[in-house]
Amino acid sequence: MSIFSFFKQELAIDLGTANTLIIQDGEIVVDEPSIVAMNRRTGETIAVGKKAMQMHEKTHEDIKTIRPLKDGVIADFQAAESMIKGLINLIGNRRRFFTHLKMVICIPSGITEVEKRAVFDSADHVDAKETYLIYEPMAAALGIGLDVEEPVGNMIIDIGGGTTEIAVIALSGIVTDQSIRIAGDELTSDIISYMKRHHNILIGERTAEQIKINVGSALSELESPPDDFAVNGRDLMSGIPKQIKISYQEIAQALDKSISKIEDSVLKALESTPPELASDIYRTGLYLTGGGALLRGLDKRIAAKTQLPVHVAEDPLRAVVRGTGIALRNSDRFSFLIDRKSV
């Protein structure tokens, strides 16, 4: 270990709408919800990550919880900065005396130049000396072990919290891509609307997320269905808290429209794929990553729609951050990384 590396800290960050993950020295050191709790009067940070999530939708007027990212990009600049600082401080063995912080942060492929600048500015405010950006589908491809430098086409479908990224990758570049703002958050709000419309019951974001995890499904017929899930909420007629049971078939119905839009985007990306790459994809199939890949039956539904094999990545939630970590270790080799000078 050189003396310089002793004063250097290198972090790979998957700055997600729902969760933020940080890798240091090849290990995931932070895996926390992307949320920050702040004092409304002083603007001081009270908690970040899991602690802030426990306060979400349960605060009084002096505390506000903010999810700084919306649709995969920074919506609240000050809160994002506080959250990134707080999450970096959670790294146990952080070198307090380091002089050189290098970061690789992944971003949605449909991001604008202004949104890129916001990410770079946030990195500057946490004193990063070197900042690189990597597009999410590219990071996901690296994270699941694909050789992105080969002249072979691979299609990645990364369903995160704020965006679904669909990209065809070959020769270290994105040949065609679709970035749509329908993903985990949209599915959560579909569940909230469904509960209100069909059961006259009002539930919060956290409860809807629990429903999605426990009985979420893309198909109304599953081989091994989950048990019905008990949901607590407020009756809209009487205003009294009550409990009802929900089945996976009902949630499949609630999510149907949003999943159809994801399917349409996959078809649109396949339509704009050059024929030689399309023949590669016919052989290799489609790769599903991100939290949305865990939705029961989604792989079968996309396979039925496209008539192509669909592979769900191993540990899909961490595929993007693993790929970001690989990009960090090989930042001099990969030409697709965007550094601060090029934006």
Structural domain includes residue 145: no
Same domain, 78 and 101: yes
Q: What does the pLDDT read at residue 323?
A: 94
pTM: predicted TM-score of the whole model, two decimal places: 0.90
Structural domain includes residue 84: yes
Q: What does the pLDDT read at residue 93?
A: 61
Q: What does the pLDDT read at residue 1?
A: 44
Q: How far apart are CA 5 and CA 14, in angstroms?
A: 23
Beta bridge partners of 246: 229
Give the residue carrying structure tokens 């009067």.
41
Give the residue ranges of the chain where pLDDT is below 50: 1-4
Cβ-contact 286, 309 below 8 angstroms: yes
Q: What is the CATH number of the domain that holds 35?
A: 3.30.420.40
Cβ-contact 28, 20 below 8 angstroms: no
Structural domain includes residue 144: no
Same domain, 88 and 103: yes
Q: What does the pLDDT read at residue 127?
A: 81
Q: How far apart are CA 165 and CA 181, in angstroms?
A: 9
Domain of 163 in residue numbering reads as 150-182+259-317
- Closest to 79 in 3D by CA, of 60, 94, 64: 64
Question: How many domains are there within the chain?
Answer: 3
